[in-house]
Homo-oligomer: A and B are copies of this chain.
């Protein structure tokens, strides 16, 4: 083995004590020793909110070759990415809770839970089934894989839209982005579960919304900027679609008194697809796996493509 001692790993910063402790434990369970950044071969970055702390840390980490980020999407870190290091992030690790949130959103919409929550008397007996529904999923990554796995017994017809049309395991069919406009009019729900890039920014705009069925739901668990908010407000106000469930918004957090809050056919959850509490054991598990692989010089999980930015 050439290069620095791979059993020496830094976990920093320590601004989130619970997360820091969980990641230190994970590093040690994988057989490595936690050391100051100056001695480390690798850095496990331990605070998803502290990207600003990175330049100083990496300046001191002269021997660091691999950096593990705690994010699923790395856009807040994008300007730090470089070709001098190997970068991994949490992509895929957080997928199961996020997939669970998507199913929560679909069921809440289809089964009219918002209306029943607001009701104060026995009301019209409505609702439709997720069982056997037709779903269009934008994005073919870890969240989509986890979603398809959870939905396996539900008999849904699933179309995954991704950059290439390389089939996604468990999907009824996979199409490339060019097919999106044609496919979107045929489904009970459109689910946005893709990384935010230049190409996917604003992918849900007035034109796409206009192609959706009037009984179709929009579910966004990607990033707020995937959806052109004003176009969505217009579609919901005019009921050209059934409704939207949003775990991410643009702007985010969504200001009080924003039009979306007042729409009965819109449910907003405050970016809880994966909460800190749900995510901590999952990123710790990812770190444990990757530190083990790092020591053994095996391929790391969740590699970031520095040029693609995810």
Contacts and interface: CB of A to CB of B under 8 A. Distances in A.
Interface of A: 96-97, 100-101, 103-104, 107-108, 111-114, 116-131, 149-150, 152-154, 253-256, 261-262, 267-272, 275-278
Contact of A125 (B123, B129, B275): B275
Most interface-central of A123, A128, A129, A253 (chain B CB within 10 A): A129
A126 B271 CA distance: 10
Instruction: Across the A-B interface, give the 10 residue pairs with the lowest CB-CB distance, nearest first.
Output: A122-B253, A121-B256, A104-B107, A117-B117, A120-B261, A114-B117, A104-B111, A116-B269, A122-B270, A127-B272
B108 A256 contact: no
A103 B131 CA distance: 12
A262 B117 CA distance: 10
Contacts of A112: 272
Contacts of A268: 116, 119, 122
A101 to B, nearest CB: 7
A131 B96 contact: yes
Nearest to A277: B128
Q: How many copies does the complex hold?
A: 2
A96 B269 CA distance: 28
A158 to B, nearest CB: 14
A123 B271 CA distance: 10
A107 B111 contact: no
Q: Which of A126, A153, A278 has the most CB of B within 10 A?
A: A153
Given A107-B107, A121-B261, A262-B120, A100 B256 contact: no
Contacts of A131: 96-97, 100
Contact of A278 (B101, B128, B253, B278): B128
Contacts of A278: 127-129
Contact of A149 (B107, B108, B153): B153
11 contacts: A101-B111, A104-B113, A107-B107, A113-B117, A119-B261, A121-B255, A125-B272, A127-B275, A128-B278, A150-B154, A152-B153
A184 B153 CA distance: 28
Contacts of A275: 125-127
A154 B261 CA distance: 32
A301 B123 CA distance: 33
Of A111, A120, A254, most buried by chain B (CB within 10 Å of CB) is A111
A122 B254 contact: yes
A130 B149 CA distance: 15
A26 to B, nearest CB: 19
Given A150-B153, A153-B153, A270 B125 contact: yes
B123 A270 contact: yes
